[in-house]
Amino acid sequence: MNALRMTALAALAVGSVGMAKADQVTVGMITTLSGGGAGLGVDVRDGFQLALDMAGEHDIRLVVEDDAQRPELAVQIAERMIQSERADILTGIIWSNLAMAVVPSAVAQDIFYLSPNAGPSALAGANCHPNYFNVAWQNDMLHEAAGQHANELGYENTFIMAPNYPAGTDALTGFKRYYEGELAGELFTQVGQTDYAAEIAEIRASGADSIFIFLPGGMGISFMRQFEQSGVDLPIISAGFSFDQDVLPAIGEAALGVINTSQWSPDLDNELNGEFVAAFQDAYDRLPSLYASQGFDTANLILSAMEQADVSDMDAFREALRAADFTSVRGSFEFAPNQHPIQTVYVREVVEVDGVLTNRIIGTAFEEHRDVHGENCNM
């Protein structure tokens, strides 16, 4: 690397600051674009970009950068976006632990943060903040819906399992909050675990009538493939994260028939969602995931607020965000006082349509559901 080129790059990075127009909104997107978790970040980014493209003329300058799923790198990028790019709004983070690293200090510096994924309980409760909006869900929400629906399915002896980290314990707590039956067993697996033989043997021996799992990303893929080969034949219920479009093609037939809960589904019947799914397939040649829909909604929320207020007037812009006066692909959308969504959570089933695995809505777990942590939020 010669010195000249480095200097040129530095000039480029610094020079881009000057280009912002007065009424332009700079959105800094910090998301995971490399490594094993890249699929989620790519979908959030593509969904967000699609909303901007569909809006046509707009005044958003989008700066995207890869956090490589590393908290310290995410913090560094956030500082750069705030201090060098002069970002007005940050968004994009996929993982709860990265959100916990970035969000508290960003919002304290008078920056808006809109979460397109990840809703740790601390940010919904005691550490809620007027500049923090969650456009996806609070972490517990979909698990609570799974617990609720397990009752309706008549499950009485469920085996529950999640990785041993805060989002995992939140998942089990969320499930148990609504589930009324007995627990056949409760197990924490290692984060990033790839072999589930020991756990499957436990499930087999437990006499359970059903299984609830929260195993996002590669962990879910590994579990489902091994479960299929184990000969254990029990129904699985889960939150939508483990069974969405990013992993379904990789899990394959083993996922067919799995019941999962989500605030969105590709077949959700509203006009905008139909357009979104078609446009996404057109633009990127694959079905959108839950994460893509959340990125899409986040962009539309920002666009709607920009129509009502100038971002330099933070109070007015905050009010405009809080009003959530935009059309969501999930139908109705409204913020609770802690600025997390109040929304319907659907029950979906994994099905095969024209040779592609996807989800179909089969019922509703909650109408106008809100998280429990809001009680601890004094805002």
Partner 1 sequence: MSLALVLEQLLNGVQFGLMLFLMSAGLTLVFGVMGLINLAHGSLYMIGAFLCAAIAAATGNFFIGLMAGIAAAAAAGALIEILVIRRLYARDHLDQVLATFALILILSEGVRMIFGPFPLYLTVPSVLRGTVNLGIVDYSLYRLALIGFGIAVALGLWALIAKTRLGIRIRAGESDREMIAALGVNIRVLYTVVFALGAALAGLAGALVGAIQSVQVGMGEPVLILAFVVIVIGGIGSIKGAMVGALLVGVIDTMGRFLLPRLFATIFDASAAAGTGAALASMLIYLLMALVLIFRPKGLFPAHG
Partner 2 sequence: MDNARKEWLLNTAIALALFAVPLWALLADEPFIITTATRIAILAIAAVGLNIALGLGGMVSFGHALYLGIGGYVAGIAAHHAFSGTTVLGLPGTNQMLPIWAIAMILSGTIAGIVGALSIRTSGIFFIMITLAFAQMGFFFTLSWPAYGGEDGLPIFVRNQFPGLNTARPWEFFLLSYGVLLAALAIFAMLRAARFGAALMAIRQNPDRAAAVGISPFGIKLVAFILSGMITGLAGAMMADLTRFVSPAMMAWTMSGELIVIIILGGVGRLFGPVAGAAILVCFEVLFGGLTEHWKLWLGLVLLAVVLFARGGLIGLLAGRAQHG
Residue 76 engages partner 2 in binding (rule: CB under 8 A)? yes
194 touching partner 2, by CB under 8 A: no
Contact between 217 and partner 2 by CB under 8 A: the answer reads no
Q: Closest CB to partner 1 among 228 and 310?
A: 228
As measured in angstroms, the least distance from the Cβ of 198 to partner 2 is 16
Residue 284: name its binding partner from partner 2, partner 1, none (Cβ under 5 to 8 Å by kind). none
Which spans of this chain sit near partner 1 (rule: CB under 8 A)?
Answer: 33-36, 38-39, 41-42, 164, 169, 172, 183, 186-190, 192, 194-195, 197-199, 201-202, 204-205, 217-222, 225-226, 228-231, 246-247, 249-254
- Which residue, 82 or 215, has its beta carbon nearer to partner 1? 215
Picked from partner 2, partner 1, none, the partner binding residue 230 (CB below 5 to 8 A depending on kind) is partner 1
CB of 200 to partner 1, least distance (A): 8
* CB-nearer residue toward partner 2: 3 or 22: 3
Residue 166 near which of partner 1, partner 2, none (CB within 5-8 Å, type-dependent): partner 2
Position 75 contacts partner 2 (CB under 8 A): yes
Nearest-approach distance from CB 213 to partner 1, in angstroms: 14
CA distances from 350 to 30, 152, 253 (A): 31, 18, 9
Least Cβ distance, residue 219 to partner 1 (angstroms)? 7
Q: Which is nearer to partner 1, 41 or 47 (CB)?
A: 41
Selected from 24, 58, 104, 235, the binder of partner 2 by CB under 8 A is: 104
Q: Which residues bind partner 2 (CB under 8 A)?
A: 1, 6, 9-10, 13-14, 33-34, 63, 65-66, 68, 70-73, 75-77, 79-80, 82-84, 96-97, 100-101, 104-105, 108, 120, 164-167, 169, 188, 190-191
